[in-house]
Structure 1
Amino acid sequence: MLRKFINRIVAVFFAISLSVFMLTGCEATRKNDDSIVLRWVTYQASDVPLDIKEVVEAANAVSKEKIGVTVNLEFQPSDKLNLMMASGEYYDMVFTSSWVNPFDKGATAGLYRDVTDLVKTETPALYDYVDPFWEAGTVNGRIYGIPLLKDMGAEEMFRINSDYFEGKKGMVIPERMNFEDIEPFLKAYKEDFPGRYPLDMTKGGIPGYMNSVERVVQTLVVLPFGEGHEASNVIPFYECDQLMDRFRLLHKWYKAGYIHPDAATIESTTSDKSIPVRFGVAWKGYQGYSNPENWGFNVKTSIYEGPFLSRSSEQGAMISICAACDDEHTKACLKYLELLSTDKRFRDILAYGIEGKHFEYLENGTVLRTDTGLSRYNTALYQTGASAAASVESVSRTFLADPDQWKGVFEEYKTDGIYSAINGFAYDQARKEDIIAALNAIYSDYKTELITGTSDPDKVLPVIKKRMEEAGMKELVEDVRQQLREWEKLNHE
């Protein structure tokens, strides 16, 4: 254990030393006409936008004039981000989150710059904008990441063909329902179309199927919402009744013929417009699921749980600054993020592209992407800044969004949000990384069939439990509980 700890420290020291070396070597290329040039690496969710160079140039013209800072924006896939972190390759700002380039892992390894004091003194408007979500970017009371405000909580919903169920069947689609309440809809459709499968399901399972619990260690160790912050409430995922009941219900629906028999191997169903019930993860007022032009019929959404707010959900998109960044460039990063968060017109450039070419402003204050924008600069908002700082997008001229959508979202979090009891706790996974790797390998053997309803959980889960306990699950859980007890003493006494 001591040798592993020493090796880890040496690796971090080497990475930071290499970064400092690269910083010195690249200094000449990071100054341009008295402006500071930042290397900003973000996550590549799909293809790199074709017009990225043109859009960044337009954004740089604005940021150079306003704050004397420009960026070289790179889109990189998750494996490249992981390699950058491991090798110590220099960057100024990098995309990090709970699901890509894991923030807690990088922050606890010392890869990110502590900006606790600078963000308050140099960019108070940025600090006020992110508040009260700074805990997501905090480890041991220090800020290492800037959360990008978006859907900070997870709301799970059904997307339902209202033309069929309400128009033809006379059924009522409520704004909210319980998960199991969709069963009569599935049954009605199956009776009318015995050869079809009414519930959309691919090998990925239900989108966000773990959002109803706090993922303390990936999907392996969880804390059910509604439980207190006591260490004893942290459990292996297979001991969570809520998750297990969900898997049992999916298997029931699978046997009833509501789920395609090959669901565990299906990559995508986007081309099949006949499926009447799909899943969604979004937020209050989101329109993307409901545009009839996309489906050929009207769609209504019905929320079945949430909004859940946890450390993992609030870390959905973040930006961290390299630990090797000097004060000048750290301040430049913060100034740039402050501008992105507080200047909507500037934010819209990186969000949607160039006005008149990639998007236009509509009379109600929302934006509409053009055909050129959809084909040449169709990025996800979180890739280039806070989603909530950009103008809201309408899906068509006749299907207009609410320009104040995000105000409603964050008000809902205050009134109806379901919060994790251990928000702010970050488990140091490096302590048991070998066990975690072994447990993930075991889970991957069963995951796809389990989350698609293909397997009977009452037969599979005992096997998973036995194998995982042999691989060290109990040791991992106890280590998590020990760290949590230490955290509780500091935060709840």
Structure 2
Amino acid sequence: MSKVRKSFVTTLVLMLALSLSLSACGGKKEESTGTPEKPVELIWYTIGTPQKDVDRVMEEVSKYTKEKIGATVKMNMIDWGDYTQKMQVMTASGTPMDLMFTSSWAFDYVQNARKGAFLPIEDLLQKQGKGIVDTLDPAFLEGSKVDGHNYGVPANKELPAQSVWRFNKNLVDKYKLNLDNVGSLESLEPLLKTIKENEPGTYALAVDKTFNPIVPFDYIIENMPMAVKVGDKDLKVVNILETPEMKQTLATMHKYYKAGYIPTEAATLTSLSDVQATGKWLTDKATNQPFADNLWSQSLGYPVVSKAASPALIYNWSVMGSMQAISANSKYPEKAMEFLNLLNTDPVLRNMIDSGIEGVHYKKVGDDAMENLPESKNYDMPTFSLGNVMLTYRDKNDPENKWDEFKKFNDSGEKAPLLGFNFDPSKVTTEIAAVQNVKEEFWASLMTGTVDPDKFIPQATAKFKAAGLDKIIAEAQSQVDAWKATKK
């Protein structure tokens, strides 16, 4: 072989070796950083009324995320009432997706984590999601563990749940009602009496079929009749209908119903929105957050004030009220976590996804304040469902200390007794289905005061026991005891 050709071959071999070496190094770098040469598309399913300008906004979002993390975003919105069913079908059929909204009330977080719909994310949080860990109150991640693992990123929002009595201020002012001593259900009586006597056709205590009275218990399964009393260090699981607290509360509700303070049709009423639109109500029960009165007043179009009716407690359901999970079938889990990390730490991205395009859907009126423009009607998103709420710009009417007050509120919350415990129903599924049927028969009429609890609690309890409630309570107690032992 000539020297020239040999030299050429040698050079070619060296170049090929160098190329392979660089390629291998590049491959290692891509694996460690999760940044591919070509941007990936993250498919995101979330809850809410589909908005006209979603694709338009996501185009701008994708320009930003492409530069920041090498990924673009395709958002698919599914309407409130359809979300759970459609997501169950799509996850079961393997529809491609990377990110999805889940919660304690829609597309059930615990249930779907156990089904394997979501990826466990502890490692991803430590690598690609460090900003989330640093930002969130530890109770969010502690309370959202399922069987020892995290499967979703909770939205950084109000952490505790605090029940309040919410009042139509127009009626409060008209009759000079004194709210200073309002707290317990019984404390409402003189106010309800005034409205009943002077405002015919007005709901004094506005409740519908979903109403649950305020009692100091932490439910094993929300709105099922087994719970642990707040403050009970033994964590004894009881049938809540047999407790003195619930019996007293239901007796008061029935007293109010007979007095005409509660709507006659309360046990079958599906919504209070119509009566709230007319303003023909005095008080109802709601869940609090800082400056909630402002939000309610803006939403209803007339002034609303509220008074605390319970302590601020951190429950599993409040921690899991809004979460984003990574699909177990995601092609790009590391990139999905990078996106969630950015969404929860970067104000530019968070506000673009929440409020749309600056100058189109909203305009800034300060460093951290904004007001909507007319085009916002085409992009009106549910803020709470989309990540770190405390990064969003304040409305121009919000006080400057809004987010400081949220943090104080979160710090004030006390842990409910079952925070971090999630019941595994697999051994008692038949009994739970039977108990659910009994609940459908009795619950709404009892909780709204429509029926006499002295007569109907024994009937309901007998049917609950026949359906297997005691077996469920025994299984729950066994799991709670095992969980309590690990906490020590």
Task: State TM-score, norm by structure 1.
Answer: 0.83
More off after superposition, 339-348 vs 354-363: 354-363
More off after superposition, 119-128 vs 469-478: 119-128
Q: What pairs with 1:96-107 in structure 2 (closer than 5 Å)?
A: 96-107=102-113
What corresponds to 1:35 in structure 2? 39
Q: What pairs with 1:262-273 in structure 2 (closer than 5 Å)?
A: 262-266=265-269, 267-268=271-272, 269-273=275-279
Alignment gaps of 5+ in structure 1: 1-30, 395-399
List per-residue Cα deviations over 1:134-185 (Å, max 9, x = no partner): 11332233222211122221122222233432x3433333396333222221
What corresponds to 1:249 in structure 2? 252
List per-residue Cα deviations over 1:96-152 (Å, max 9, x = no partner): 111112222222333321221221122211211124121133223322221112222
Q: What pairs with 1:87-126 in structure 2 (closer than 5 Å)?
A: 87-126=93-132
Alpha-carbon distance, 1:342 to partner: 0.8
Distance 1:237 1:83, change over 3 A: farther
More off after superposition, 49-58 vs 238-247: 238-247
1:196 aligned onto 2:209: no
More off after superposition, 477-486 vs 239-248: 239-248
What corresponds to 1:157 in structure 2? 164
Measure, in 1, the Cα distance between the counterparts of 2:66 and 2:181.
46
Structure 2 counterpart of 1:213, from 214, 217, 242: 217
Distance 1:478 1:282, change over 3 A: same
Q: Is the 8 A contact 1:112 1:144 kept in 2?
A: yes
Q: Is the 8 A contact 2:52 2:379 kept in 1?
A: yes
Alpha-carbon distance, 1:210 to partner: 6.8
Distance 1:467 1:128, change over 3 A: same
Amino acid at match of 1:141: G
Distance 1:411 1:199, change over 3 A: same
Q: Is the 8 A contact 2:215 2:246 kept in 1?
A: no
Distance 1:335 1:274, change over 3 A: same
Structure 1 counterpart of 2:187, from 177, 181, 184: 181
Distance 1:197 1:180, change over 3 A: same
Measure, in 2, the Cα distance between the counterparts of 1:95 and 1:148.
10
1:302 aligned onto 2:298: no
Alignment gaps of 5+ in structure 2: 1-34
Measure, in 2, the Cα distance between the counterparts of 1:71 and 1:175.
51
Q: What pairs with 1:23-422 in structure 2 (closer than 5 Å)?
A: 34-44=38-48, 47-76=49-78, 77-132=83-138, 133-165=140-172, 167-174=173-180, 177-205=183-211, 209=213, 212-220=216-224, 221-228=226-233, 230-231=234-235, 233-266=236-269, 267-268=271-272, 269-291=275-297, 294-296=300-302, 298-325=303-330, 329-363=332-366, 365-373=368-376, 375-394=377-396, 400-415=397-412, 417-422=413-418
Q: Is the 8 A contact 1:159 1:289 kept in 2?
A: no
Q: Is the 8 A contact 1:93 1:333 kept in 2?
A: yes
Q: Is the 8 A contact 1:105 1:430 kept in 2?
A: no
- Larger Rg over CA atoms: 2
Amino acid at match of 2:240: F
Q: Is the 8 A contact 1:130 1:149 kept in 2?
A: yes
Q: Is the 8 A contact 1:224 1:240 kept in 2?
A: no
Q: Is the 8 A contact 1:148 1:385 kept in 2?
A: yes
Measure, in 2, the Cα distance between the counterparts of 1:211 and 1:335.
41
Amino acid at match of 2:427: R
Distance 1:136 1:168, change over 3 A: same
Q: Aligned pairs, how many?
A: 445
Q: Is the 8 A contact 1:60 1:71 kept in 2?
A: yes
Alpha-carbon distance, 1:468 to partner: 1.3
Q: Is the 8 A contact 1:214 1:311 kept in 2?
A: no
What corresponds to 1:463 in structure 2? 459
Give percent identity, aligned residues only: 24
Name the SS for the 2:454 alignment partner. Answer: helix
What corresponds to 1:17 in structure 2? none
What corresponds to 1:19 in structure 2? none
Distance 1:102 1:254, change over 3 A: same
Q: Is the 8 A contact 1:391 1:403 kept in 2?
A: no
Alpha-carbon distance, 1:314 to partner: 0.7
Amino acid at match of 2:447: I
